[in-house]
Chains A and B, each alone.
Chain A
């Protein structure tokens, strides 16, 4: 009886060591190759003796012209290399908005309001209750003040005041943290998908902080929950063109005007999941910021599946039978998200995976396609490429799906799950709350690589890879500072209301 498990254990241990050995061999191939080469040269040198070495040296004729030409050539090549290298873009610091306690919405309050607002559709109330039970949200998520009324009062004024509350607080905090003066901001990008007033939110920021008149400002709207990384991409491209500049990105989603007032079930889901939140990020390409920057942007890959009809229609804003506007989520959302992720990883993989994983993937691909062997498609182990993962907290199902697809452990997805629990789905800013969680837990060390994955309507999958520039001390203030000790919490499958 006790004998039977032993061979399994020892064989799995053996397998582990084989795997480790293989990875070490392939990933450090060149350095391993260098050792025998250096050994051979050393043996040769020892064999030749000092006199012979001097003879070899003297036999090389050094003409002045030759020397000058070769040195110019070397300098020329290195100049071209350094000039054409893309500018390194750094993330200096970022700040996440912490909603005040006055906006807190416990489960029971949310359900009670739903019962009162939807009193003519008890089935819809039941549906919402079941969603909330399984949502993975906690009791401290926040909704803007207008939504606390029965019925909600989503006027344009209220939407603007929510925008001012979340954006200005985050920006004040960012300016304080980084010591940035408002007049020094060169590029401003604001992304908010569902609220786009005139003048734009970026104009609102410029007006409030009296930013420069030659500022390059952009306002991205309608791009869904992945707009945060689209803004980062835009900032990166702009920082290639403008030397010695910085960029401020504000990622948010304004909930007030988008509360669905109808009772169509597929459109009630966003009401249950979307919550208040925002983040302000400072990026820079200045050399002086190199020392204080938190992260360096390594890669950013954007994948758009809009060409496929099913993907295009899966998150669709429309009017229901009664003319009330809401966002319709199709039932195939998870499958489409999985496909979009696969497309994204196909591009991302070669950029970040170590050689060992890429070789294995190549062999598995060759085996399946060329030799038609019945192998399962090899899923590269991304845990070798990254220390931390920030998966957009779009909902419990999204995190579960990605955890399964990428074979991640509970600790890897902890940041995402806990952000969903504490703040709900804050749309494009959720990635920053998750990053802040990892920092608050004191897990971010210099050299750690972080992978941020965001999904959005369209259907888009965008991912960014950051490398930690300096070990980050646990922040003393921030959205997590008062509750980080309570986390991680165990989130049951179904919460009994």
Chain B
């Protein structure tokens, strides 16, 4: 699909229901700065006419944004005044109630089912989510965009574009879950709202470790336009669907002792080995999350797995993934703190990155769950990102973000592997 099927775009802002007051600053931690150039995107599909309308969704965002834990969601990026004019300014979030953007749109040509039946799942992220970037007017760029698209059948899709500085994919999914709970008004006995995490200038008490982190990569300074410039290659997206039977077969073929996730990761790693050659695929990054409900990045666990030259079999790789991870959070923190804001970093796509989204919270609006959810990350490095999330009860989706060239080769490799 080349031309956009989306029409009738209307953009407005929604703000917290009551005054946050005092323009409080929320300082960005080292983990926030490590992911500042990334954007979390999720699209939720609801087939057929439902109990709620676009207006209901819009109205519920006001009390949602009023929750104390989401003060920073409606803020804007500002730069700390530095004494040294030549040093790079350190950004922070000013909680000034500027609000979140809501985009109302229509797709007249498709019903939700027809849309989901199309092969190319990259259309979800191309058309149903607003193409958000922080900048060039950095100080007045909203940190979250929510696009609500009405389809021909009366169903709708909700497309969330969430700046990663606010929190990781799980935090974004929790935000949507809270929205669903507020709509229902009587969610679980008393919804537990994420507490506002205590962020001090040097968070968590421990200072960063010395050393060089290989999970993050320094990039050219982006200035006031927070997006990685990907001049070299065009990024594409593809969803591999694995049904329960296929997963069973894979586990049987390779090794039952490892988890589904490890096998899937190893499968993709092996395929990339074939495509990129042995030198370029020695390291992978794995993003996981500690179980918590706070809306921030500091609960992300970023680890690396290094491969020795001889190890090329899927089961060997799965073994590395399962047990030979090296957590780099401390080292990342040390590296970024030492840098003091003079350079920019990326995490997703610095190496081939795997993200496990099992901990993402499910959205439920008035007792109804979405028919399909598609997650991705925008603004990633050229080594690619692989997101693994559940589909339905037992199936899985492996969503790959990579250069289109490599993606084409990957499709072939994976097909061979599954045979």
**Chain A residues in the interface with B (C-beta under 8 A):** 101-102, 104-109, 111-113, 115-116, 138-140, 148-150, 153
Given contacts A102-B59, A102-B62, A106-B19, contact A150 B97 (CB under 8 A): no
Smallest beta-carbon distance B10→chain A, Å: 6
Closest B residue by C-beta to A497: B96
Residues of the B chain whose Cβ atoms lie less than 8 Å from the Cβ of A153:
10
Task: Please determine whether A108 and B12 come into contact, CB atoms closer than 8 angstroms.
Answer: no
Task: Please determine whether A112 and B62 come into contact, CB atoms closer than 8 angstroms.
Answer: no
Task: Please determine whether B10 and A109 come into contact, CB atoms closer than 8 angstroms.
Answer: no
Given contacts A101-B62, A112-B140, contact A106 B96 (CB under 8 A): yes
Smallest beta-carbon distance A195→chain B, Å: 21
Contact of B98 among A108, A138, A148, A150 (CB under 8 A): A108
Residues of the B chain whose Cβ atoms lie less than 8 Å from the Cβ of A149:
10-12
Given contacts A106-B98, A108-B97, A112-B98, contact A101 B12 (CB under 8 A): no
Residues of the B chain whose Cβ atoms lie less than 8 Å from the Cβ of A108:
76, 96-99
Residues of the B chain whose Cβ atoms lie less than 8 Å from the Cβ of A112:
13, 76, 98, 140
Render B227-271 as a binary contact track against A, CB cut-off 8 A, 1 for contact.
000000000000000000000000000000000000000000000
Task: Please determine whether B17 and A104 come into contact, CB atoms closer than 8 angstroms.
Answer: yes
Task: Please determine whether B10 and A113 come into contact, CB atoms closer than 8 angstroms.
Answer: no
Task: Please determine whether B97 and A109 come into contact, CB atoms closer than 8 angstroms.
Answer: yes
Q: B18 at the A/B interface (Cβ < 8 Å)? A: yes
Closest B residue by C-beta to A151: B11
Given pairs A106-B96, A112-B76, 16 additional interface contacts (CB within 8 A): A101-B17, A101-B18, A102-B62, A106-B15, A108-B96, A108-B98, A108-B99, A109-B99, A111-B140, A112-B140, A116-B140, A138-B19, A148-B12, A148-B14, A149-B11, A149-B12
Residues of the A chain whose Cβ atoms lie less than 8 Å from the Cβ of B15:
104-106, 109
Task: Please determine whether A106 and B97 come into contact, CB atoms closer than 8 angstroms.
Answer: yes
Task: Please determine whether A148 and B13 come into contact, CB atoms closer than 8 angstroms.
Answer: yes
CA distance A66 to B104 in the complex (A): 90
Residues of the A chain whose Cβ atoms lie less than 8 Å from the Cβ of B99:
106, 108-109
Residues of the B chain whose Cβ atoms lie less than 8 Å from the Cβ of A150:
11-13
Closest A residue by C-beta to B76: A108
- A-B pair count, CB < 8 Å, reads 54
Residues of the A chain whose Cβ atoms lie less than 8 Å from the Cβ of B62:
101-102, 104
Residues of the A chain whose Cβ atoms lie less than 8 Å from the Cβ of B137:
115
Smallest beta-carbon distance B93→chain A, Å: 12
Residues of the B chain whose Cβ atoms lie less than 8 Å from the Cβ of A106:
15, 19, 96-99
Task: Please determine whether B13 and A109 come into contact, CB atoms closer than 8 angstroms.
Answer: yes
Interface pairs (15), CB distance under 8 Å: A101-B17, A101-B18, A104-B15, A106-B19, A108-B96, A108-B98, A109-B98, A112-B76, A113-B13, A116-B140, A138-B19, A139-B19, A139-B97, A150-B12, A153-B10
Smallest beta-carbon distance B141→chain A, Å: 9
Smallest beta-carbon distance B23→chain A, Å: 8
Residues of the A chain whose Cβ atoms lie less than 8 Å from the Cβ of B96:
106-108
CA distance A105 to B18 in the complex (A): 10
Measured as residues with beta carbon below 8 angstroms from the partner, the interface class of chain B is: 20 to 34
**Interface core residue of B15, B19, B62 (most chain A CB under 10 Å):** B15
CA distance A149 to B12 in the complex (A): 4
| Interface positions of B from 92 to 115, Cβ below 8 Å from A | 96-99
Smallest beta-carbon distance A109→chain B, Å: 5
CA distance A106 to B76 in the complex (A): 13
CA distance A140 to B66 in the complex (A): 13
| Interface positions of B from 360 to 393, Cβ below 8 Å from A | none
CA distance A112 to B140 in the complex (A): 6
CA distance A153 to B21 in the complex (A): 29
Residues of the B chain whose Cβ atoms lie less than 8 Å from the Cβ of A113:
13
Task: Please determine whether A115 and B17 come into contact, CB atoms closer than 8 angstroms.
Answer: no
Going nearest first, the 8 A-B pairs with the smallest beta carbon separation are A101-B17, A106-B97, A108-B98, A108-B96, A148-B12, A149-B12, A139-B19, A150-B11
Residues of the B chain whose Cβ atoms lie less than 8 Å from the Cβ of A139:
19, 21, 97
Residues of the A chain whose Cβ atoms lie less than 8 Å from the Cβ of B140:
111-112, 115-116
**Interface core residue of A104, A105, A140 (most chain B CB under 10 Å):** A104
Smallest beta-carbon distance A494→chain B, Å: 14
Smallest beta-carbon distance A117→chain B, Å: 11
Closest A residue by C-beta to B96: A108
CA distance A153 to B137 in the complex (A): 24
Task: Please determine whether B19 and A140 come into contact, CB atoms closer than 8 angstroms.
Answer: yes
CA distance A153 to B8 in the complex (A): 13
CA distance A140 to B17 in the complex (A): 9
Smallest beta-carbon distance A172→chain B, Å: 20
Residues of the B chain whose Cβ atoms lie less than 8 Å from the Cβ of A101:
17-18, 62-63
Residues of the A chain whose Cβ atoms lie less than 8 Å from the Cβ of B10:
149, 153
Residues of the A chain whose Cβ atoms lie less than 8 Å from the Cβ of B58:
102
CA distance A309 to B405 in the complex (A): 75
CA distance A139 to B140 in the complex (A): 18
CA distance A140 to B19 in the complex (A): 7
Residues of the B chain whose Cβ atoms lie less than 8 Å from the Cβ of A116:
140
CA distance A159 to B76 in the complex (A): 31
Render B1-45 as a binary contact track against A, CB cut-off 8 A, 1 for contact.
000000000111111011101000000000000000000000000
CA distance A111 to B14 in the complex (A): 14
**Interface core residue of B13, B14, B62 (most chain A CB under 10 Å):** B13
CA distance A149 to B140 in the complex (A): 16
Residues of the B chain whose Cβ atoms lie less than 8 Å from the Cβ of A102:
14, 58-59, 62
CA distance A113 to B140 in the complex (A): 9
CA distance A109 to B17 in the complex (A): 13
Residues of the B chain whose Cβ atoms lie less than 8 Å from the Cβ of A105:
15
CA distance A140 to B15 in the complex (A): 11
Residues of the B chain whose Cβ atoms lie less than 8 Å from the Cβ of A107:
96
CA distance A148 to B11 in the complex (A): 9
Smallest beta-carbon distance B54→chain A, Å: 12
Closest B residue by C-beta to A146: B12
Residues of the B chain whose Cβ atoms lie less than 8 Å from the Cβ of A115:
137, 140
| Interface positions of B from 47 to 63, Cβ below 8 Å from A | 58-59, 62-63
Residues of the A chain whose Cβ atoms lie less than 8 Å from the Cβ of B98:
106, 108-109, 112
Closest A residue by C-beta to B61: A102
CA distance A107 to B14 in the complex (A): 13
Smallest beta-carbon distance A70→chain B, Å: 72
CA distance A62 to B137 in the complex (A): 100
Closest A residue by C-beta to B141: A112
Closest A residue by C-beta to B102: A148
Closest B residue by C-beta to A105: B15
Residues of the A chain whose Cβ atoms lie less than 8 Å from the Cβ of B63:
101
Smallest beta-carbon distance A112→chain B, Å: 5
**Interface core residue of B11, B12, B18 (most chain A CB under 10 Å):** B12
Closest A residue by C-beta to B94: A108
CA distance A140 to B11 in the complex (A): 21
CA distance A73 to B314 in the complex (A): 121
Residues of the B chain whose Cβ atoms lie less than 8 Å from the Cβ of A111:
140
CA distance A139 to B11 in the complex (A): 22
CA distance A359 to B97 in the complex (A): 56
Closest B residue by C-beta to A496: B23
Residues of the B chain whose Cβ atoms lie less than 8 Å from the Cβ of A109:
13, 15, 97-99
CA distance A404 to B91 in the complex (A): 45
Closest A residue by C-beta to B59: A102
**Interface core residue of A105, A108, A139, A149 (most chain B CB under 10 Å):** A108
Smallest beta-carbon distance B175→chain A, Å: 19
Residues of the B chain whose Cβ atoms lie less than 8 Å from the Cβ of A138:
19
CA distance A102 to B15 in the complex (A): 8
CA distance A391 to B227 in the complex (A): 52
